[in-house]
Amino acid sequence: MHQVYRAAYPLALISALATSSVFASSDPFSDVLPIGGSAVGYVLRYERATYRGAERGADHLPLYLYEGERAYLHGTSLGLKFKQDDWRADVFLRYRFEGFTHDRRPESTSGLAPREPGFDAGASLRRRMSWGTPYVELLRDASHSSEGTELRAGYWNEWQRGRLSLRPHLLVAWRNAKLNDFYYGTSDYRAGSGIDTQAGLYASYAVTESWNLLGSLIATRRSSEITGSPLAQNGLQGEAFVGFMYDFSPKQTRWAPQSKPLIVKALYGNSSDCDVLQVVRFNCTTRHTVDNTDVAAVHVGRKLIEGAGGLPVDLAGFVGVQRHFEKSYQDDFWSVMAFYKAYWHGFGWDRWARTRVGIGAGLSYSEQISQMELHDQGRRGRGNWKLLGYLDPSFDVRVAKETYVGVGVSHRSGAFGKSQFLGNVNGGSNYIYLSLESIF
Burial class of residue 262 (count of CB atoms within 10 Å of its CB; 0-12, 13-18, 19+): exposed
Give the span between the Cα atoms of 166 and 160, in whole angstroms: 6
Residue count of the chain, please give it.
Answer: 440
Q: pTM of the prediction?
A: 0.80
Beta strands 38-47 and 428-439 are unpaired
Q: Is the per-residue pLDDT at 408 higher than 90?
A: yes
Give the span between the Cα atoms of 90 and 72, in whole angstroms: 10
Q: Which residue has the higher pLDDT, 387 or 376?
A: 387
Q: Is the per-residue pLDDT at 56 higher than 80?
A: no
Give the span between the Cα atoms of 58 and 420, in whole angstroms: 10
User: All domains of the chain, ordered by start, with CATH?
Assistant: 10-252 (2.40.160.40), 255-439 (2.40.160.20)
Beta strands 159-161 and 164-175 are antiparallel
Residues 6 or more apart in contact with residue 287 via CB below 8 angstroms: 270, 271, 272, 432
What pLDDT, on a 0 to 100 scale, did the predictor assign at position 115?
86
Looking at residues 79-99, what average pLDDT do you find? 91
Percent of the chain with pLDDT over 70: 89
> Is the Cβ–Cβ distance between 292 and 347 less than 8 Å?
no
365's enclosing H/E stretch is strand 355-366
What pLDDT, on a 0 to 100 scale, did the predictor assign at position 107?
84
Q: Which residue has the higher pLDDT, 29 or 225?
A: 225
What pLDDT, on a 0 to 100 scale, did the predictor assign at position 223?
96
What pLDDT, on a 0 to 100 scale, did the predictor assign at position 126?
93
Q: Is the per-residue pLDDT at 50 higher than 50?
A: yes
Looking at residues 196-215, what average pLDDT do you find? 91
pLDDT band at 231 (very low <50, low <70, confident <90, very high): very high
Judged by DSSP in three states, 393 sits in: strand
What pLDDT, on a 0 to 100 scale, did the predictor assign at position 18?
37
Judged by DSSP in three states, 60 sits in: strand
Task: Please state which of the ranges 17-26, 249-258, 289-298, 353-362 shows the lowest mean pLDDT.
Answer: 17-26
358's enclosing H/E stretch is strand 355-366
Residues 39-61, buried b or exposed e (16+ Cβ, 10 A)?
A: bbbebebebebbbeebeeeebbb
Task: Please state which of the ranges 77-86, 184-193, 246-255, 366-375 shows the lowest mean pLDDT.
Answer: 246-255
Q: What average pLDDT is seen over the chain?
A: 86
Q: Is the per-residue pLDDT at 122 higher than 80?
A: yes
pLDDT band at 120 (very low <50, low <70, confident <90, very high): very high
What pLDDT, on a 0 to 100 scale, did the predictor assign at position 13?
42
Looking at residues 83-108, what average pLDDT do you find? 86
pLDDT band at 27 (very low <50, low <70, confident <90, very high): low
Which tens digits make up the pLDDT trace of 262-316?
Answer: 999 999 999 999 989 899 988 999 999 989 999 999 999 999 888 877 789 999 9
> Is the Cβ–Cβ distance between 241 and 97 less than 8 Å?
no
What pLDDT, on a 0 to 100 scale, did the predictor assign at position 254?
62
What pLDDT, on a 0 to 100 scale, did the predictor assign at position 12?
41
Handedness of CA 114, 117, 118, 122 (dihedral sign): positive
Looking at residues 96-105, what average pLDDT do you find? 79
